Structure 1
């Protein structure tokens, strides 16, 4: 049962509210002075406060109520406070509302309206506390993941990213091949680094971008070449497989590997042996192969441009890294990281970052923040400084984190139309998102 604390110097007001709430399944306790109210708050178990604006008989300014609210809000910012106010105190009450009070109720109050306000605030407060508890559990889980594994300094806060990281460290010590899929700029190489860092392999991490190499040189890059093996090969050189012996070889953009390179790679994966270009001597290596692609390899297999048997060799374990738009909780932590500790994001900048689609993913976000940091002399970065294009359509409600919705609802005292406007949603979209997340309507 929820508990409401009534702080009022008039004991008859306390008694009336205790009776009203008891008839509707709400427990109520009273305090007749601000100090007594603070003392009762310190004992805990208070879900909502209803406070008077004046406590001395000869005082009508509302200053006492404003001071009491500041004490309450400073120590218990998540507990909603309703102001009991006379019409003569209305202007002062509005000031306190702007400072963070949840609502005000005029004297004499309407029982039905007061109960509706109290029930809605209790539900919203419980949803906020539940989200806070969930966020705390998630932080503890992420901290444990970082303590137990080397995550190479990755910045994240989204559950989708956490699932990828958890699976990555789970399979890191296996010798099996891993295929990392995801769009360009999403951080696939960082996942490969994490796999290597937690593999227990003592050799180096060697990365090759297959898409950046001329097709005629890919085999020499991967397998090495003897002197004279091709024009310009004046001396023998080791390939990336030899360089990665005892460690990990990361083949990025594996879908661009030409047919001859695919055939030779398949043989190495099957036997662990290869020959340099221009040589007949077989060499053997102990290499864990990781690969990554943003291409649809299944479609390439159907088109005959990628070998199916090689696909099965590479795709023993698949790690799918979602685009940044599908892990919105990562956006602001990453933005702050790229911006630097000495700069801050304004509220409108945060909203703009959350609304943007990020087709270039983490790479685009990094470029935007670095550009804004370089071109802006102010410490606080605004939305204008980000220079992001206006969205063509409203942001999908599915992309807005639950805690952001609860925060905006609280800022607007539960008024759906105002909250939806700030979030860039229609009222119907916001209602659907609230229902799915279990956030109560006011």
Structure 2
């Protein structure tokens, strides 16, 4: 049940608020002193605190209330607090709001405004608890991943990337081919490295071949090797292929969709039997290689067009690991940006906002290039949005730009759509709750109304 703690030395205040909040099925606890209130907070689950500013007779300075506020904030930093002020100077309450208090109300208070404010804060408190629970759960899962597996120092914070990494670790020890899919620059090779690092052949070689970076006539020689004079331009010495180099380890075939059909037939044979011949040789060689391939191509479409063998596709795709584009894992953007900065500079707030708002069509590779460029162009070791040079992003409809304060009509319309719920209206307007409260106070907009 939702619970509010009222800390006030006047019993009549506690009784009145108990009746008021009871109308909304809100449980009310009361304490007559700061000490009693802090003790209750240690014993009870409280969602919101309503506290007085003075507790000693003939005291109007508000110092006791300030001390109580700071004590609660130190022990329960996410707990919302409403200040009740009677004789306290308004400046003191405003300073506490700037320090994190949710709101302040004068005595005698307006019941409708107090109820609306309390409902908003209880809703926010519930959402905050849920976010905290999810964050703690993610940290716990990540610690488990870090403890159980070698993650090769990969930087991530998003749930989407966590799922991909966890699956890669789970299937790493299975002696089956793995297909890593995802757009260019998303980090497919990093996933392949994690598979290798946690596999049964982790002590063997890890050999990488970019099938898209080699001329089609040379790919087979690169993969399977060649005897002297096997093709035009071949040297007079035998050439060891990548399968031989990867014997006892892992071969990572990037951009597998670029492998020509002749090479696909040979690859299928190696996957099934471990056997192949070098170009220009009739001698059959035997290897034991774990194959991890990657592509950003639509292999099923290539199969329909006759450009990729269907039997090879199913042999490669025993396990598919999808690496999501950076646009689908925005939580990774800032950790990656700070990692790429390597301590050479720091991001200011405008840079952080621009980084998160950008769509990143070039994925992690684009982000890395943007950060490297910005770290060279920035002044005094501080990267700004201007240093990043990213294309501006249009704000969603109904949301004010960062330098535009909403007018009275916009605020009242947002409040009406949100049925008076401040947190929803603030989110629609692109403001924090405190900023919206300040704007409403400046324009004389009532907090509890839908108009």
Interval containing the TM-score (normalised by the shorter chain)? 0.7 to 0.9
Which stretch of the first structure deviates more once superposed, 183-192 or 155-164? Answer: 155-164
Structure-2-length-normalised TM-score: 0.84
Q: How far apart, CA to CA, are the structure 2 residues paired with 1:61 and 1:342?
A: 47
SS at match of 2:331: helix
Whether 2:230 is the aligned partner of 1:229: answer yes
Residues 4 and 48 in structure 1, CA contact (< 8 A), matched pair in contact too? yes
Question: Which residue among 297, 300, 319 is the counterpart of 2:299?
Answer: 297
Per-residue deviation at 1:18? 2.7
Structure 2 gap segments, 5+ residues each = 400-420, 433-449
For 1:360, the equivalent position in structure 2 comes to 362
What does residue range 5-16 of structure 1 map to in structure 2 within 5 Å?
5-16=5-16
Residues 120 and 423 in structure 2, CA contact (< 8 A), matched pair in contact too? no
Per-residue deviation at 1:326? 0.9
Per-residue deviation at 1:324? 0.8
For 2:428, the equivalent position in structure 1 comes to 420
Q: How far apart, CA to CA, are the structure 1 residues paired with 2:180 and 2:394?
A: 31
Per-residue deviation at 1:323? 0.5
Deviation sequence 1:55-88 (CA, Å, 0-9, x none): 3444444444333322222221111000112487
Residues 52 and 83 in structure 2, CA contact (< 8 A), matched pair in contact too? yes
Residues 177 and 316 in structure 2, CA contact (< 8 A), matched pair in contact too? yes
Which stretch of the first structure deviates more once superposed, 385-394 or 302-311? Answer: 385-394
Count the aligned residue pairs: 409
Deviation sequence 1:85-143 (CA, Å, 0-9, x none): 24873333222212211112222112233223222211210221122012111110111
For 1:329, the equivalent position in structure 2 comes to 331
With over 3 angstroms needed to count, the CA separation of the structure-2 counterparts of 1:219 and 1:142, relative to structure 1, is: same
Per-residue deviation at 1:348? 2.9
Residues 273 and 285 in structure 1, CA contact (< 8 A), matched pair in contact too? yes
Q: How far apart, CA to CA, are the structure 2 residues paired with 1:342 and 1:38?
A: 44
Deviation sequence 1:246-267 (CA, Å, 0-9, x none): 1111100011112222222222
For 2:275, the equivalent position in structure 1 comes to 273
Deviation sequence 1:339-374 (CA, Å, 0-9, x none): 235744333322222211010111111222222223
For 1:381, the equivalent position in structure 2 comes to 383
Q: How far apart, CA to CA, are the structure 1 residues paired with 2:67 and 2:279?
A: 82
For 1:21, the equivalent position in structure 2 comes to 21
With over 3 angstroms needed to count, the CA separation of the structure-2 counterparts of 1:278 and 1:186, relative to structure 1, is: same
Structure 1 gap segments, 5+ residues each = 398-412, 425-441
Per-residue deviation at 1:186? 0.4
Q: How far apart, CA to CA, are the structure 1 residues paired with 2:118 and 2:431?
A: 25
Per-residue deviation at 1:238? 0.6
Q: How far apart, CA to CA, are the structure 2 residues paired with 1:414 and 1:336?
A: 34
With over 3 angstroms needed to count, the CA separation of the structure-2 counterparts of 1:340 and 1:39, relative to structure 1, is: farther
For 1:407, the equivalent position in structure 2 comes to none
What does residue range 74-89 of structure 1 map to in structure 2 within 5 Å?
74-86=74-86, 89=89
Which stretch of the first structure deviates more once superposed, 86-95 or 240-249? Answer: 86-95
RMSD: 2.5
Residues 53 and 89 in structure 1, CA contact (< 8 A), matched pair in contact too? no
Per-residue deviation at 1:5? 1.9
For 2:445, the equivalent position in structure 1 comes to none
Per-residue deviation at 1:422? 3.4
Residues 169 and 194 in structure 1, CA contact (< 8 A), matched pair in contact too? yes
Which stretch of the first structure deviates more once superposed, 77-86 or 330-339? Answer: 330-339
Q: How far apart, CA to CA, are the structure 2 residues paired with 1:73 and 1:248?
A: 53
Deviation sequence 1:190-245 (CA, Å, 0-9, x none): 11111111111142111100111122211111011122223241211210000000
For 1:406, the equivalent position in structure 2 comes to none
SS at match of 2:153: coil
SS at match of 1:217: helix
With over 3 angstroms needed to count, the CA separation of the structure-2 counterparts of 1:420 and 1:332, relative to structure 1, is: farther
